[in-house]
A and B are shown apart, each in its own frame.
Chain A
Amino acid sequence: MGEQADTVPLMGFRAPLSAEIALARAAAGLSRLAGAGGGTTVPGKLLWKLDPGAVDRLAARLPLGAALVSATNGKTTTSAMAARILAPVARLAHNRSGANLVSGVASALLASRGAELGLFEVDEAALPEVARRLRPRAVCLGNLFRDQLDRYGELELVAARWRAAVEELPGETALMVNGDDPQVGDLAHGHAQATVFGLDDPRHASPTLQHAADSKWCVRCGTPYVYEAAYIGHLGDYRCPSCGHARPHLDVVARAVDLHGLEGISFELETPEGSSRVELSVPGLYNVYNALAAAALTRALGVPLESIVAGLQGFSAAFGRFERIALGDRTLLTLLIKNPAGANEVVRTLVAGDPPHVLLIALNDEIADGRDVSWIWDVDFEPLLGSLERLVATGERAAELALRFKYAGLPEDAIEVVPELDAALDRGLELTPAGAELVALPTYTAMLALRELVAGRGFVRPYWEEAAA
């Protein structure tokens, strides 16, 4: 990435590798040997305990610096797209499996000897701390939706922390924000190096604001926004009728979007340097936003438009987000669900394709899933009912999920509660005709468990092996 690389200050010295760093690296190997989930965060957690400042020093060794991606929805996919774009130009330290707290970033840094550029997705709540420690050269902020209120607290609190984190960023740090999200778009205000991205294609607007829309009130004066177009939740082209606060000017834009069911999407990517048609092999309007975010971020890192487009077009799927796995003569399509806005888009995408007759939904309530499962009642599952003949409800809170569909109007005899995931997978496959596809919608820990289960049957490699490949 020629020109940009020259602007990165050369390091005057390299901090010596401390004993703690060596110890934590050894722990990664040990935890893999012990079968503890590939050692994704074990070494990072150890290092974080032994010497919190080591994260800063490891990051400072990256000659091309670090880029951060955060959002309620899409941070794993956005980073995976950015990684695909950046792979030909830089050796990356990247937390691709989604371990996105400080310890996960530390683990990725430990595991990536010789990396030139850090690319990290960061948990919304962890962003201020990670930004403070890494002094990133680019930060890309996607969206804020209600998510795991038991863990993050109210949306306003996260937004306030982001505002403070952005104010602390060095002036030369490139900031990319989604202008379609009123709270996030407003962060560009006052930052010199800000790029605003967004979607402009009213044909794909929802007729009304979705139930899961959150930031519906003007960030300045509290009046309800008027939407020229609302695309996903509260993301769209908004204007306050009272004080005039409106979506900022878009620098990186997606126009003329075509959705091709579950097969993919295409759109016109417009940047100040030119525009190009992008064909993506992942579905849904939400992936247009992810691609825009990845394009804006890599553009700021100096990647030319044609390389951005090539990277996006070569992208297939991020870990567990949209994965097709062949299981003998059937396929399993896994789409992660974790909060109302994200799950709504998954539902919208499924319905726009070939709507499923059999559905496996796995609801867990571990910390990473959110202990409060009330969010499933804010998801618009109703459009699925038209075609759904059988629901296999599984996971720790399978009964709660079954109730969600019962009270949506699915007949009780169409609902099977099978709390154990392996039995539920078998049942789902049994209900799926040979040659057909079983759609599974797991929450985060259920997705990990499902992947492990399928890997245990020899159908998919564990992700740490893929990462090493």
Chain B
Amino acid sequence: MRIAVGHLFPDYLNIYADRGNIAVLTRRAAWRGHELEVEAIGAGDELRPGAHDLYYIGGGQDREQELIAPALAALGEPLREAVSGGAALLAVCGGYQLLGRAYRDQSGDELPGVGLFPLHTVAGDRRMIGDVLLECELEPGERRTLAGFENHAGRTYLDEGAEPLGRVLAGFGNDGESGYEGCRAGRAIGTYLHGPLLPRNPWLADWLLAQALAQRTGEAPSFEPLADDLEAAAHEVSAGRARTRGGRY
């Protein structure tokens, strides 16, 4: 089956090897007989709710985020509509911040957000840099870990009652204090974790693909497992790095 992916601002938001995430989604879909079609969505482009099954938005440096924030905010309404209509989404680092309500940078200027995630972000003085390990439970009873790398000055504060992506086992997380990382809103996932995230956490790639297919067919398929020995080895090393040298509160 064809899975339509809308990649938001790939020219501007690609700082943490975001194309690695796309490569993993593409290959793992293909190994299951599905074809990922990735379309770049940039400034001035139209975003039609229902046209994509999955959205991806990566991270950028401050300057790039400033340059595209207004154009991204202009796509806010159709993007929110697409996700509330059932499209899956993965937002990493800067993209995660910009999908919140607002981002206040170091000079105190506020960048408008998309308002898709119930959170806001304030730039802090010290960057939170290091390996991270999370425990997540996206499906009830299925606890999985995510290993990645974080590098952000922003402190992200979730609204009361908002659902984080996971609990921080090692590392800083959203704000270095709450003990939580990322945000989940239905089929949308936002996180600071790069590395990139999906190669060493293929279960999340499969979850996103299943959600994207669910948008198309009405039901999330259960995939046959793939030979993920290399992925498991990479996950283990990365998780070990987080435990021994991840950021500390």
CB pair B27 A407 closer than 8 Å: yes
A163 is an interface residue with CB less than 8 A from chain B: no
For the complex formed, measure the closest distance between the CB of B92 and the CB atoms of chain A, giving whole angstroms: 10
CB pair A403 B231 closer than 8 Å: yes
- Total residues of chain B contacting the partner, CB 8 A: 36
A3 to B102, CA, bound (A): 60
A372 is an interface residue with CB less than 8 A from chain B: yes
B52 is an interface residue with CB less than 8 A from chain A: no
CB pair B20 A217 closer than 8 Å: no
For the complex formed, measure the closest distance between the CB of B8 and the CB atoms of chain A, giving whole angstroms: 17
* Known contacts A154-B62, A372-B129, A376-B17; 11 further A-B pairs (Cβ under 8 A): A150-B129, A371-B241, A372-B16, A372-B194, A373-B195, A374-B194, A375-B17, A396-B237, A399-B230, A407-B20, A407-B199
- Residue from A154, A222, A403 in contact with B234 in the complex, judged by beta carbons closer than 8 Å: A403
CB pair A403 B62 closer than 8 Å: no
B112 is an interface residue with CB less than 8 A from chain A: no
Residue with the highest number of chain B CB atoms closer than 10 Å, among A153, A374, A376: A374
B127 is an interface residue with CB less than 8 A from chain A: yes
Which residues of the partner chain A approach B196 to less than 8 Å between Cβ atoms? Answer: 374, 377
Which residues of the partner chain A approach B213 to less than 8 Å between Cβ atoms? Answer: none
Which residues of the partner chain B approach A415 to less than 8 Å between Cβ atoms? Answer: 230
CB pair B234 A372 closer than 8 Å: no
B13 is an interface residue with CB less than 8 A from chain A: no
A150-B149, A217-B67, A374-B194 known; A400+B199 contact, CB < 8 A = yes
Which residues of the partner chain A approach B227 to less than 8 Å between Cβ atoms? Answer: 412
A155-B61, A217-B67, A403-B230 known; A377+B19 contact, CB < 8 A = yes
- Residue from B19, B200, B238, B241 in contact with A211 in the complex, judged by beta carbons closer than 8 Å: B19
Which residues of the partner chain A approach B234 to less than 8 Å between Cβ atoms? Answer: 397, 399-400, 402-403
CB pair B230 A402 closer than 8 Å: yes
| 8 A-B residue pairs with CB within 8 Å | A150-B151, A371-B130, A371-B131, A372-B16, A377-B20, A378-B19, A399-B233, A407-B199
For the complex formed, measure the closest distance between the CB of A415 and the CB atoms of chain B, giving whole angstroms: 8
A407 to B151, CA, bound (A): 24
CB pair B61 A400 closer than 8 Å: no
A406 is an interface residue with CB less than 8 A from chain B: yes
Q: Which of A396-426 contact B (CB under 8 A)?
A: 396-397, 399-400, 402-404, 406-409, 412, 415, 417
Which residues of the partner chain B approach A372 to less than 8 Å between Cβ atoms? Answer: 16, 129, 149, 151, 194-195
Q: Which of B197-220 contact A (CB under 8 A)?
A: 199-200
B120-159 Cβ-contact flags toward A at 8 Å (1 or 0): 0000000101110000000000000000010100000000
B11 is an interface residue with CB less than 8 A from chain A: yes
A397-B237, A399-B233 known; A404+B20 contact, CB < 8 A = yes
A365 is an interface residue with CB less than 8 A from chain B: yes
A371 to B195, CA, bound (A): 10
A48 to B199, CA, bound (A): 42
A306 is an interface residue with CB less than 8 A from chain B: no
Residues of A within 8 A of B (CB): 146, 149-150, 153-156, 211, 216-217, 222, 224, 365, 371-378, 396-397, 399-400, 402-404, 406-409, 412, 415, 417
For the complex formed, measure the closest distance between the CB of A130 and the CB atoms of chain B, giving whole angstroms: 23
For the complex formed, measure the closest distance between the CB of A406 and the CB atoms of chain B, giving whole angstroms: 6
Which residues of the partner chain B approach A403 to less than 8 Å between Cβ atoms? Answer: 199-200, 230-231, 234
Residue with the highest number of chain B CB atoms closer than 10 Å, among A146, A153, A376, A399: A399
For the complex formed, measure the closest distance between the CB of B222 and the CB atoms of chain A, giving whole angstroms: 23
Which residues of the partner chain A approach B127 to less than 8 Å between Cβ atoms? Answer: 153
Q: A156's closest neighbor in chain B, by CB?
A: B63
Q: Chain A contact residues: over half helix, strand or loop, or mixed?
A: helix
Residue with the highest number of chain A CB atoms closer than 10 Å, among B24, B194, B230, B233: B230
- Residue from A146, A156, A400, A404 in contact with B237 in the complex, judged by beta carbons closer than 8 Å: A400
Q: B16's closest neighbor in chain A, by CB?
A: A374
A365 to B237, CA, bound (A): 11
A397 to B20, CA, bound (A): 16
Q: B63's closest neighbor in chain A, by CB?
A: A156
CB pair B230 A417 closer than 8 Å: yes
For the complex formed, measure the closest distance between the CB of B49 and the CB atoms of chain A, giving whole angstroms: 28
For the complex formed, measure the closest distance between the CB of B63 and the CB atoms of chain A, giving whole angstroms: 5
For the complex formed, measure the closest distance between the CB of A145 and the CB atoms of chain B, giving whole angstroms: 12
Q: Which of B22-46 contact A (CB under 8 A)?
A: 23-24, 27
B163 is an interface residue with CB less than 8 A from chain A: no
For the complex formed, measure the closest distance between the CB of B111 and the CB atoms of chain A, giving whole angstroms: 14
A400 to B233, CA, bound (A): 8
For the complex formed, measure the closest distance between the CB of A154 and the CB atoms of chain B, giving whole angstroms: 4
For the complex formed, measure the closest distance between the CB of B198 and the CB atoms of chain A, giving whole angstroms: 9
Which residues of the partner chain B approach A156 to less than 8 Å between Cβ atoms? Answer: 61-63
Q: A155's closest neighbor in chain B, by CB?
A: B61
Which residues of the partner chain A approach B233 to less than 8 Å between Cβ atoms? Answer: 399, 402, 417
Q: Which of B224-249 contact A (CB under 8 A)?
A: 227, 230-231, 233-234, 236-238, 241, 245
Which residues of the partner chain B approach A373 to less than 8 Å between Cβ atoms? Answer: 149, 195
Which residues of the partner chain A approach B195 to less than 8 Å between Cβ atoms? Answer: 372-374
Which residues of the partner chain B approach A400 to less than 8 Å between Cβ atoms? Answer: 199-200, 234, 237-238
For the complex formed, measure the closest distance between the CB of A450 and the CB atoms of chain B, giving whole angstroms: 20
- Residue from B15, B131, B194, B200 in contact with A146 in the complex, judged by beta carbons closer than 8 Å: B15
For the complex formed, measure the closest distance between the CB of B61 and the CB atoms of chain A, giving whole angstroms: 4
CB pair B14 A365 closer than 8 Å: no
For the complex formed, measure the closest distance between the CB of B180 and the CB atoms of chain A, giving whole angstroms: 22
Q: A212's closest neighbor in chain B, by CB?
A: B14
A374 to B131, CA, bound (A): 12
A412 to B62, CA, bound (A): 38
Which residues of the partner chain A approach B17 to less than 8 Å between Cβ atoms? Answer: 374-378
Which residues of the partner chain B approach A375 to less than 8 Å between Cβ atoms? Answer: 17
For the complex formed, measure the closest distance between the CB of A372 and the CB atoms of chain B, giving whole angstroms: 5
A372 to B199, CA, bound (A): 14
A408 to B17, CA, bound (A): 13
- A-B pairs with the 4 shortest C-beta distances? A377-B17, A377-B20, A399-B233, A399-B234
For the complex formed, measure the closest distance between the CB of B122 and the CB atoms of chain A, giving whole angstroms: 17
Which residues of the partner chain A approach B11 to less than 8 Å between Cβ atoms? Answer: 216, 224
Which residues of the partner chain B approach A154 to less than 8 Å between Cβ atoms? Answer: 61-63
A220 to B151, CA, bound (A): 27
